[in-house]
Amino acid sequence: MRPYREYWSDPGMMTPPTLRPDEAMKLEDLLENIDDLVILATTDGKILYVNRAWREKLGYSQEEVHKINAHDVLHPMQHRLVAVNEAKLMAGETLRDVQRTFVAKNGNEFFVEGFLNYRFGKDGKPEYVRAVFRDITERKKAEEMKNELIAMATHELRSPLTSIIGSIELAKRHPDTADKMLEMALRNSQFMLDLINDYLSIEKLTSGGTPLNLEPLDLSALVEGTLETGRGLGAKNQVRLELGAVLDGAKVSGDPDRLRQVLTNLLSNAVKFSPENDVVTASISRKEGFLRVSVADHGPGIPENFRGKIFGRFEQAEGHKKGGSGLGLAISKAIVERHNGRIGFETGNGTTFFFELPELAS
Ligand code: ADP
């Protein structure tokens, strides 16, 4: 550890601490070993002290710290904010929950929140600013994602709800249409419920709230079983579900309910987009330590400008909406990735969606 003297690098600037050297050592030890970013700097930005967390987060060595200005790590957009805060600090206020964007030496940006105040000398002039910041990048990202989801979900729920109200009003005014209108209201209510369930499901999956019940699974048995239960779904659209090539006995470590959910979603999309009287084929293949489950259809394919967005939340291709929530593939992706797997598709004449999971050694 550096001796205590060195760390008050500019003793002329401030009143020396009234601590004994061994107490100061402990204090420095504390500052050097916390996660918060601590900085003391003159009001024009000359750095007097920064702790280890600050140096590591911002990517500057102990030597480099003295060659830069404290304002250099602030995002350029924030310089105006500094001027606004200056007046309050000069009046002796402590600023709390101040949010800033810092830019590290390598250009990485991150958000911090913290407190700032000035230390004033006997002459009433500010000697230096004390600041402690905490990295809130992850929290901020989670908040943004949540807000985005809420905005999207409320937007998506508006149209079925408007339609339900419209149906009920019509049924009231024209009792002869009541049956048809209530039928429509029921369909839209079911749609809203599905949407909310999907929304909750993805929320839980991505926040880690849904534990996976992993067990060794015979993938062929899982695919066959899911096809069996999915047959009704195909029959309604006169689409046949067929089992293609499988690998008997090939195993993965997986949560059977969740993996069935992924496969059912891929099958139901394939059926929805298949021409009538067509065939959808599910098969299994092996590739570089992974087992791939594929679902192939002969539908219209995925429009080029939609391919990059297809696994996003609430995404549906223009002109290719068939009453879903736009969350099915996002949920499938979350499930597959929780299994350390990957999901993708090939498209042209028809589409083949697939997911790959690490094969368990037998
Ligand atoms: P949805 O609930 O709308 O089906 P998904 O996330 O499962 O939501 O699918 C998103 C969109 O991807 C669909 O609305 C559709 O535009 C497109 N899509 C998915 N599967 C297929 C497919 N097999 N063929 C063509 N388009 C598809």
Opening angle at CA 264, ends 258 and 265, nearest 5? 95
The answer to whether residues 298 and 360 belong to one domain is yes
The answer to whether residues 82 and 151 belong to one domain is no
The answer to whether residues 355 and 306 belong to one domain is yes
The answer to whether residues 204 and 298 belong to one domain is no
Joined together, the tokens standing for residue 243 give: 């089992």
Query: Given this model, what pLDDT does residue 3 score?
Result: 39
Query: Given this model, what pLDDT does residue 211 score?
Result: 85
The answer to whether residues 34 and 57 belong to one domain is yes
State the closest ligand 1 atom to the C-alpha of 320, by its place in the atom list counted from 1: 16
Spacing, Cα 160 to ligand 1 middle (Å):
19
> 201 versus 27: which is more confidently predicted?
27
State the closest ligand 1 atom to the C-alpha of 299, by its place in the atom list counted from 1: 24
Spacing, Cα 333 to ligand 1 middle (Å):
13
Across all residues in the chain, what is the average pLDDT?
A: 88
State the closest ligand 1 atom to the C-alpha of 353, by its place in the atom list counted from 1: 23
Spacing, Cα 112 to ligand 1 middle (Å):
39
User: In CATH, what number is assigned to the domain containing residue 219?
Assistant: 3.30.565.10
Nearest CA to ligand 1 atom 23: 270
| Cα dihedral across residues 318, 308, 326, 244: positive or negative | positive
Joined together, the tokens standing for residue 88 give: 């309050």
State the closest ligand 1 atom to the C-alpha of 326, by its place in the atom list counted from 1: 8
Query: Given this model, what pLDDT does residue 24 score?
Result: 87
Q: Which of 182, 210, 238 lies at the terminal end of a domain, its last residue?
A: 210
The answer to whether residues 198 and 218 belong to one domain is no
Nearest CA to ligand 1 atom 26: 302
Nearest CA to ligand 1 atom 19: 269
Spacing, Cα 326 to ligand 1 middle (Å):
7
Asked if residue 340 has pLDDT above 70, the reply is yes
Spacing, Cα 283 to ligand 1 middle (Å):
20
Query: Given this model, what pLDDT does residue 19 score?
Result: 76
The answer to whether residues 120 and 142 belong to one domain is no
Query: Given this model, what pLDDT does residue 83 score?
Result: 72
The answer to whether residues 162 and 36 belong to one domain is no
Asked if residue 210 has pLDDT above 80, the reply is no
State which of 274, 320, 347 you would mutate to test the pocket of ligand 1, scoring each by most atoms of that ligand within 8 A of its C-beta: 320
Tell me the average pLDDT across 346-351. Answer: 92
Opening angle at CA 161, ends 159 and 164, nearest 5? 115
Q: Which of 135, 152, 169 lies at the terminal end of a domain, its last residue?
A: 135
State the closest ligand 1 atom to the C-alpha of 323, by its place in the atom list counted from 1: 3
Query: Given this model, what pLDDT does residue 148 score?
Result: 77
Tell me the average pLDDT across 66-79. Answer: 87
Query: Given this model, what pLDDT does residue 241 score?
Result: 93
Residue 320: pLDDT band by 50, 70, 90 thresholds?
low
Nearest CA to ligand 1 atom 21: 269
The answer to whether residues 146 and 275 belong to one domain is no
Q: Which of 135, 164, 195 lies at the terminal end of a domain, its last residue?
A: 135
Spacing, Cα 235 to ligand 1 middle (Å):
19
Spacing, Cα 319 to ligand 1 middle (Å):
11
Query: Given this model, what pLDDT does residue 136 score?
Result: 94
What stretches of 61-179 adopt beta strand conformation (E)? 95-103, 109-120, 126-135
The answer to whether residues 146 and 97 belong to one domain is no
Nearest CA to ligand 1 atom 7: 328
Spacing, Cα 182 to ligand 1 middle (Å):
28
Considering only CA atoms, give the Rg of the chain: 30
Q: DSSP state, 46? A: B
Per residue in 88-130, pLDDT (tens digit) is 999 999 999 999 999 999 999 999 999 999 999 989 999 999 9
High-pLDDT (> 90) share of the chain, %? 64
The answer to whether residues 285 and 324 belong to one domain is yes
What stretches of the chain adopt beta strand conformation (E)? 37-41, 47-50, 95-103, 109-120, 126-135, 215-218, 240-243, 251-254, 279-287, 290-297, 342-348, 350-360
* Alpha-carbon span 155 to 228, nearest angstrom: 36
Q: DSSP state, 207? A: T
Asked if residue 22 has pLDDT above 80, the reply is yes
The domain total for the chain is 3
State which of 152, 306, 329 you would mutate to test the pocket of ligand 1, scoring each by most atoms of that ligand within 8 A of its C-beta: 329
What pTM value is reported for the model?
0.65
Residue 333: pLDDT band by 50, 70, 90 thresholds?
very high
Least confident of 32-41, 69-78, 204-213, 234-243: 204-213
The answer to whether residues 161 and 238 belong to one domain is no
Spacing, Cα 270 to ligand 1 middle (Å):
8
Q: How far apart are the first and last CA of the chain?
A: 53
Joined together, the tokens standing for residue 63 give: 């030597």
State the closest ligand 1 atom to the C-alpha of 350, by its place in the atom list counted from 1: 24
User: In CATH, what number is assigned to the domain containing residue 180?
Assistant: 1.10.287.130
Ligand 1, pocket residues at CB < 6 Å? 265, 269-270, 273, 297, 299-300, 302, 310, 315-317, 320-321, 324-330, 351
Range of the domain at 158: 136-210
